Structure 1
Amino acid sequence: MNSAAFVVVGGTSGIGLEITRRLATENFRVVVVSRSAGSVAELAGVTHLQADVTRGEIDAGSFPDRIQGLVYCPGSIRLRPFHRLKEADFLADFQINLLGAVKAIQACLPGLKKADDTASIVLFSTVAVATGMPFHASIASAKGALEGLTRSLAAEFAPKIRVNAIAPSLTDTNLAKTLLSDDGKRSAAADRHPLKRFGNPGDIAAAATFLLEDSSSWVTGQVIAVDGGMGALRTFK
C-alpha cells in the first residue's frame, strides 16, 4: 500500500467515486467523506468517514496525519429563472459549493502541511462561470466564489500546497439525471458541445487525478476547463 493518503469529500458517487476508484487502483490510501459509505466499502485501501459537509464541522482528528491530496466533489445544479430564485436558494448553493469546501480544507490543512514534498487540493467549478448561461445565476455565483477561493489559497499556500479547480460542462452523473433523462435531452445536450458529446465521470476524474499527482507539480492557481469545448469554442456550419 502506498503511504500517501488522499481525502475525497463526496467520493461515493459520480465523479467522486471515479476519482476514489482510480486512486485505490494505484494503491493509495483514500479516506472518503460522505453521508453514507455506498460502494466504497468494497474498495481495498478505502475508509469511510460519515459526515455531512452542509451541517456542522468535519472532525479533523479523523484524517491521516499526512495528507497528500484533497478533492472536494459535492455540488449542486439549481437551474431556475432568476425571478424564481429565493435568497434561500443562493444560500443553499453557497453552503454546499463554497462553505463546504472551506470546512473540508480547514479540517485537512494540518495534514496537507505535513505531506511529503508538496500537497494538492482539487476543487470543482463549472463552465457556467466563464460562459454566461441562462438560469445559472445561483450556481454560477457560488462556483464563481469557489474560483476566487482557488486562486487566493493557491497564492497563500504556495509553495507547499497546490490549489486548482476543474470547470466541467454537463457530465453524466446522478446530479444531472433530470437534464439527461431521455434520448431527446441526451442528443440535444451532446449536440451543444463542439465535441458532440456530454462528459462522463472518467473525463473529469482523469483531470482530477492529474492535478493530484506529481505530473502536475508545476500547476497551481488554475481553473482548468474539461468541457468538450463548450466554454471556448463556437462551431458554425
Structure 2
Amino acid sequence: MKTIVIVGGSKGIGNGVLVQQLENYKVINISRTAPDITHSNLIHFSVDVLRDALPEFESIDALVYCPGSINLKPILGLSLDDFRKDFEINVMGAVKVIQHYLPALKKGENPSIVLFSTVAAKLGMPFHSSIAASKAAVEGLVKSLGAELAPLIRINDIAPTITETSLSGSILRNDRMKENMIERHPLKNYLKPAEVARMAGYLISEDAA
C-alpha cells in the first residue's frame, strides 16, 4: 500500500483528501489538531509545521500540503505582518515540507506533490492582495519545481474558487452572501471540499502520471 503525507488534513479540503484516500493509501496526517476520524490506515502527528520539527519517514509516495489563509482586507487595512503571515503559511511552510520530505519522495513509487493556490492569483479580485500575492508565489514555486524535479517527481497545484470550509466562513456566513457568491460563477455554485479533494486524488494517482 502506498503512503501519502497530508499536511493540514484535520479540516477543510485537507480533511476531504484524507477521508477520500483512506481506503487506498496509508495516510499520515500532520497538523496541529487531530482529524475527527480514526482508521487503521491513518496515523496522526500533532505538529505546528511552521515552528516544530517534522517527523521522519523512510519513503513516501505522495505529499499534499493544504494549509492556507483567507485574509481579505483593503490594502490599507493590511499590515506588513499580515503579508508576512500569509507568505509564511502558504509559501514557506510548503518549502519547508518539500525540502524535508524530498529524500523520502525520491524513494517512493511514481511520487507526486500537490499544493494549493487560488483563483485570485490569476483573476484580479478586490481585497485579495495578500493572499493572491502568496498564492502567486506558490504557483511560481510549482512551475520551477516541476522543471527541476522532473521526470522523477510530479508537482501540481490546484487553484479553486471559494470553497465551503471553516476558512471561508466569513465569506459565506449567511444566505445572502452565499447567493451573491453563486451568482458570480457561470456554473452557479461554489465548491465543496470533497470536489477539490477529488482533483487532488486524481493528481496523486497513476491516472495523472
- Name the TM-score class by shorter chain: over 0.9
Q: How far did 1:215 drift?
A: 0.3
Contact 1:57–1:103 at 8 Å: present in 2 too?
A: no
Pairing partner for 1:197 from 186, 189, 195:
189
Q: In structure 1, which of residues 122, 146, 164 is the aligned counterpart of residue 138 of structure 2?
A: 146
Tell me how far 1:43 sits from its aligned partner: 2.3
TM-score, length basis structure 1? 0.86
Aligned counterparts, 1:146-165, within 5 A? 146-165=138-157
Q: Which runs of 5+ in 2 are unaligned?
A: none
Structure 2 match to 1:166: 158
SS in structure 2 at match of 1:154? helix
Shift of 1:38: 2.9
Asked if 1 retains the 8 angstrom alpha-carbon contact of 2:87 and 2:134, the reply is yes
Aligned to 1:85: 78
Residue-pair matches, total: 209
2:43 corresponds, among 16, 41, 47, to 47
- Counterpart mapping for 1:99-138 below 5 A: 99-116=92-109, 118-138=110-130
**Which amino acid in 2 is paired with 1:125?**
S
Q: Distance in 1 between matches of 2:172 and 2:40?
A: 32
2:15–2:35 contact (8 Å) kept in structure 1: no
Give 1:56 shift. Answer: 3.7
Residues 49-89 of structure 1 deviation map (CA, whole Å, 9 limit, x = unaligned): 11112224423x2x3x2111000000000000001111100
Structure 2: how far apart are the matches of 1:83 and 1:13? 31
Cα distance in structure 1, aligned partners of 2:186 and 2:194:
19
What are the superposed Cα offsets for residues 190-234 of structure 1, whole Å, 9 maximum, x if unpaired? 1111100110011100100000001000xxxxxxxxxxxxxxxxx
Look up the equivalent residue of 1:92 and give its one-letter code.
K
> 1:54, 1:184 → 2: CA distance?
36
Q: Give identity over the alignment, percent.
A: 44
Per-residue CA deviations over 1:35-55 (Å, capped at 9, x if unaligned) read: 011314x12301001111222
Which SS does the other structure have where 2:182 is aligned?
Answer: helix
1:34 lines up with 2:31 in the alignment: yes
Alignment-mate amino acid for residue 95 of structure 1: E
Tell me the distance in 2 between the aligned counterparts of 1:94 and 1:56.
17
Measure the CA separation in 1 of the matches of 2:115 and 2:135.
10
Q: Deviations over 1:2-61 (max 9, x none)?
A: 2x10000000111111101111022x1010000011314x123010011112224423x2
Higher relative contact order (CA 8 A, sep 6+): 2
Q: Select the residue among 55, 67, 89 that pairs with 1:96.
A: 89
| Matching residue's letter, 2:86 | D
Distance 2:163 2:174 in 1: 15
Q: Under a length normalisation based on structure 2, what TM-score does the superposition of the two structures give?
A: 0.97
